[in-house]
Structure 1
Amino acid sequence: MPSRPAVHVNMAMSLNGYISGPGGRRANISSDEDWKRVMQLRGSVDAIIVGVNTVISDDPELVPRGQGVPRLPVRAVIDPHLRTPAGSRITRGSARTIIFSERPGEVEGATVVHMPQGVSVRSVLSFMHSQGFRSVLLEGGRKTVSSFLREGVVDTFTLFLSYLVLPDGGTRLFSTDTEISGLVTSSRLMEGGVLLQIDPGAAARAIL
């Protein structure tokens, strides 16, 4: 039996390779059609995971919206030093929020899971599995996604490649100078871009 939930990474990237605007600023890369897909995807999993840097820079709410959304997933933040700002949108609303931290403390609107031995990818997934989580959606950012890929725990990786071109200075998803074969396993045209199925092993070599 698996000792962790199934992990699905989902990201959006501009045509020129950026997942954020200059200085890490949030950018609306997904099209309307892709946004609807992401909302359905969010509603199909037990939890959505992000790193604390995404919380600080984007202040996401991380709840599925729209008609026909199956359920409201738990929101989880990987935050070793307990830097989640008070009043963040991710701590508000009716969805439950869990923060994984090496430091003890409290954040209003969230449950802080204290991990004094260190917050690692496998310790987070092991805890979530023990609490009955069987599927999680990882939405970033790049550092968090890289850590999951490095541990070899990503089962599915979808990437919306937008026709949008962003100004230089943002965060690039792929940084390697080495040619990587077998990165894209399938593709589907969508409004405003292409939805790519990415091989997690090849992605690990391309992103790290």
Structure 2
Amino acid sequence: MSAGDDARFMALALSLGARGLGRVWPNPAVGCVIVQAGRIVGRGWTAPGGRPHAEPQALAQAGEAGRGATAYVSLEPCSHHGITPPCAEALAAAGVARVVTALEDPDPRVAGRGHAMLRAAGIEVTTGVLAESAWRAHRGFLLNRTKGRPAVTLKLASSFDGRIATATGESRWITGPEARHIVHAMRARHDAVMVGGGTARADDPDLTVRGMGATHQPVRVVCSRRLDLPRDGRLAVTARAVPVWLCHGPDADPGRRAAWNGLGARTIEVAVGPGGQLDPGSILQALGAAGLTRVFCEGGGSLAASLLSAGLVDELVGFTAGLALGAEGRPALGVLGLDRLAEAPRFRLIETGAVGNDVLHRWERA
């Protein structure tokens, strides 16, 4: 195979893996393609819930055609025995001649051992193909394994002048239906949707994926130091149907904790920072420890500002509408406490385009 062929088939493996985003945590969303004499004979991706892995599914589809073939895998095959046998072992047993991967898996149980197991079996191994694209695709899993936290996407939908509501709090709807439809698709590709307690109180949100035949829902996370949230709202009455996780401070009233637990929610105690608000790093460490790899934060302004200030936002998604609300409108972000431009968090533009009458722009941390 040429380098061009390797890149083409790895791109397909990455696109297959993306089908599992939001559905496979705490496992990575891996894709696998089996190629025999230039022809694809097997395809697979991580199944909902994280198992089966991509490789055994692709090998099962390939059957005997997998013997002597090349396997393209978007992340190093696992090498440890868990609920299922190692994928590296399955590839060797199937008789593949070559394995091409994009990245080494930093999980301490793997960390190069999968590649070593393949080489020990006499299989040619090529690594680093489309590594940058794979890093972006697996960012949540990689951050969970290396830093103990999920990747964070911060979404802000605002007016042209950066406001998210009028002075009276009216916010539905600043952006149009096309933008809102895309937001639901983005929710579906994340493990969890997160908001601050102020947003939960003011908007009484569902935080679910709607309008697209969704068969699964992300975890709904609310960050509220004192757990002073309405227990007759939408989140409360649906907590047994769709998971609700509440991050709170150590000073939250025990009665409120018990009440929310009784409604079916999961309460998670996290540290409070110097400013008296929940520490964003502690929040993400707790969510990472619970297995989350990708979190979609939809505000409000204080939570968004705290994540940005702490350098914990990995991707920004903005929807900008063609209307202006003026200085009296509510800003998209809370106080950042910046004195100089050099202190402002910087992001690199990766996508922009029209969505209905609004503008979508995506940025990643520089």
TM (normalized to structure 1)?
0.85
The structure 2 residue matched to 1:74, chosen from 219, 237, 243, is 219
TM superposition shift of 1:68: 4.6
Question: Which residue does the alignment assign to 1:23?
Answer: 168
TM superposition shift of 1:38: 0.4
TM superposition shift of 1:27: 2.9
What whole-Å deviation, never above 9, does each CA across 1:73-128 have from its counterpart, x for those lacking one? 0101110011111112122322110111121323234222234x433111111111
Structure of greater relative contact order (alpha carbons < 8 Å, 6+ residues apart): 1
Kindly tell me: are residues 69 and 2 of structure 1, through their superposed partners in 2, closer, same or farther at Cα, counting changes over 3 Å?
farther
> In structure 1, what residue type is equivalent to 2:217?
L
Question: Which residue does the alignment assign to 1:195?
Answer: 360
Q: Alignment partner of 2:330: what SS?
A: coil
Matched, 1:149 2:294: no
Kindly tell me: are residues 12 and 81 of structure 1, through their superposed partners in 2, closer, same or farther at Cα, counting changes over 3 Å?
same
Question: Which residue does the alignment assign to 1:11?
Answer: 156
Q: How does 1:167-186 map to 2 (within 5 A)?
A: 169-173=328-332, 185=349, 186=351
Q: How does 1:34-73 map to 2 (within 5 A)?
A: 34-69=179-214, 71-73=216-218
Query: Given that residues 311 and 345 in structure 2 are in contact (C-alpha distance below 8 angstroms), is that contact kept between their aligned partners in structure 1?
Result: no
Query: Given that residues 23 and 169 in structure 1 are in contact (C-alpha distance below 8 angstroms), is that contact kept between their aligned partners in structure 2?
Result: no
Structure 1 CA distance for aligned equivalents of residues 347 and 153 of structure 2: 16
Query: Given that residues 219 and 242 in structure 2 are in contact (C-alpha distance below 8 angstroms), is that contact kept between their aligned partners in structure 1?
Result: yes
Structure 2 CA distance for aligned equivalents of residues 192 and 85 of structure 1: 35
Larger Rg: 2
Q: Alignment partner of 1:22: what SS?
A: coil
TM superposition shift of 1:11: 1.2
> In structure 2, what residue type is equivalent to 1:194?
V
Higher relative helix content: 2
> In structure 2, what residue type is equivalent to 1:164?
L
Structure 2 CA distance for aligned equivalents of residues 7 and 157 of structure 1: 9
Q: Alignment partner of 1:29: what SS?
A: coil
Kindly tell me: are residues 153 and 166 of structure 1, through their superposed partners in 2, closer, same or farther at Cα, counting changes over 3 Å?
same
TM (normalized to structure 2)?
0.50
Matched, 1:101 2:260: no
Query: Given that residues 40 and 69 in structure 1 are in contact (C-alpha distance below 8 angstroms), is that contact kept between their aligned partners in structure 2?
Result: no
Q: Which sections of structure 1, spanning at least 5 residues, go unmatched?
A: 202-208
Quote the RMSD (CA, aligned, Å).
2.5
TM superposition shift of 1:166: 3.4
Q: Which sections of structure 2, spanning at least 5 residues, go unmatched?
A: 1-145, 273-277
Kindly tell me: are residues 47 and 60 of structure 1, through their superposed partners in 2, closer, same or farther at Cα, counting changes over 3 Å?
same
